[in-house]
Structure 1
Amino acid sequence: MNLELRQLIEELRAELADLPDSLAYAEFGEGAAIDAVPAGLPADLRDLLLVADGLRAGRVELASSSTLAGIQYHLDYAPDFSSIPQDRAGWLVVGVRSDEPIFMDRGTGAIWYFPPTGTEWFMSDAFEELAPDVESFVDYYLLGPGYADLTPADDRWFAFLDEQGLLDEDDEDGS
């Protein structure tokens, strides 16, 4: 994980700790101990868990090292048109967006999801890549202007990002 993103996570964690109501909409876990992170995870995900062992930001939650195994059941419900049923071992559920799974392609590290189509995700006919890797996903979609693309309406996390000046597209590197 790049140093800039690591510092941003640490700064936001400290800022949230000073806000008494922040647990209602956000929680950044402390980094996991190396031996607590499950073996065999992609390197980018391992790095994230070592910095923040679980990240809840508004309607998006990335699993902690202790909850990761418990959300893999989503793989069983992936629509047949997606590549997940044909290569279940090649995918990992890394979190949820409003109770809908966020997937990682183990081979490429890319982050994927079922975008809103007016039907439940498991009956969807669309499956799209969100970001080329976990770091880009966290930077743009969890901690930046892309959060608004993932959520149906403004919420407290969106307002927090705005207060922190993190929603300005001009400050982003285009990821």
Structure 2
Amino acid sequence: MTPELRQLIGELRADLVEDEPASLEYAHFGEGAAIDALPAGLPADLRDLLLVADGMRAGRVELASTSTLAGMQHHLDFAPDFSSIPEDRAGWLVVGTRSDEPIFMDRGTGAVWYFPPTGTEWFMSDAFEELAPDLGSFVDYYVLGPGYAELTPADDRWFAFLDEQGLLDEDEDEEP
């Protein structure tokens, strides 16, 4: 995770706290986890994110906290057979959700994957795609930037917050 992303998360967390309780309806960034609270064997990118924000809810995207991470792994059991998940379940980690649909991390490469909308439930989908080459890029572009609109079906309060913060300008941020 870049120092700029760490700083941005801290600044957005402060802005959200300043607007509580209203902001709790659409977003919440947990304080960084204590190092001894991190589960063993986490990929470095996820470890870094949890140390900065122990869980993030940003509109329709929710990234796991140290306390919710283990409970999200049940999604691996429902991955369609065509995806590489059933062949190597241990090689994947569910790091969050998008509108209650899982967001996966390839433990080997650190890339972030999802089942894009196809008009059917994710576990019956015939498409499985890489979203970002790493978790930091995913958070920067899809959670805190213009890519959020690509993941969600409609404008929501988080989208409006990103716009107010000037984070939706595609010229400044490039897709990963």
Q: Does the residue aligned with 2:75 lie in a helix, a strand or coil?
A: helix
Deviations 1:42-73 (A, max 9, x none): 00100000000000000000000111000100
* Preserved contact between residue 32 and residue 53 of structure 2 (Cα < 8 Å): yes
Shift of 1:174: 4.2
Q: Does the residue aligned with 1:171 lie in a helix, a strand or coil?
A: coil
Q: Does the residue aligned with 1:170 lie in a helix, a strand or coil?
A: coil
Deviations 1:6-64 (A, max 9, x none): 00000000000111300000000000000001010000100000000000000000000
Letter aligned with residue 14 of structure 2: A
Q: Does the residue aligned with 1:7 lie in a helix, a strand or coil?
A: helix
Q: Does the residue aligned with 1:166 lie in a helix, a strand or coil?
A: coil
Q: Residue 119 of structure 2 corresponds to which residue in structure 1?
A: 118
Shift of 1:84: 0.2
Q: Residue 22 of structure 1 corresponds to which residue in structure 2?
A: 23
Q: Please give the alpha-carbon distance, in whole angstroms, between the structure 2 residues aligned to 1:117 and 1:134.
A: 24
Q: Residue 33 of structure 1 corresponds to which residue in structure 2?
A: 34
Deviations 1:98-126 (A, max 9, x none): 00000000000000000000000000000
Shift of 1:77: 0.1
Shift of 1:173: 4.2
Q: Does the residue aligned with 1:139 lie in a helix, a strand or coil?
A: helix
Q: Please give the alpha-carbon distance, in whole angstroms, between the structure 1 residues aligned to 2:112 and 2:104.
A: 6
List alignment gaps of at least 5 residues for structure 2.
none
* Preserved contact between residue 85 and residue 91 of structure 2 (Cα < 8 Å): yes
Off by >6 Å, runs of 4+ in structure 1: none
Q: Residue 51 of structure 1 corresponds to which residue in structure 2?
A: 52
Q: Please give the alpha-carbon distance, in whole angstroms, between the structure 2 residues aligned to 1:80 and 1:70.
A: 22
Q: Please give the alpha-carbon distance, in whole angstroms, between the structure 2 residues aligned to 1:3 and 1:99.
A: 29
Q: Does the residue aligned with 2:171 lie in a helix, a strand or coil?
A: helix
Q: State TM-score, norm by structure 1.
A: 0.99
Q: Please give the alpha-carbon distance, in whole angstroms, between the structure 2 residues aligned to 1:55 and 1:61.
A: 6
Q: Residue 81 of structure 2 corresponds to which residue in structure 1?
A: 80
List alignment gaps of at least 5 residues for structure 1.
none
Counting aligned pairs with the same residue, the percent is 83
Q: Please give the alpha-carbon distance, in whole angstroms, between the structure 1 residues aligned to 2:61 and 2:74.
A: 18
* Preserved contact between residue 147 and residue 175 of structure 2 (Cα < 8 Å): no
Matches within 5 A, 1:1-175: 1-20=1-20, 21-175=22-176
Q: Does the residue aligned with 1:5 lie in a helix, a strand or coil?
A: helix
Q: Please give the alpha-carbon distance, in whole angstroms, between the structure 2 residues aligned to 1:108 and 1:29.
A: 26
Q: Please give the alpha-carbon distance, in whole angstroms, between the structure 2 residues aligned to 1:2 and 1:103.
A: 21
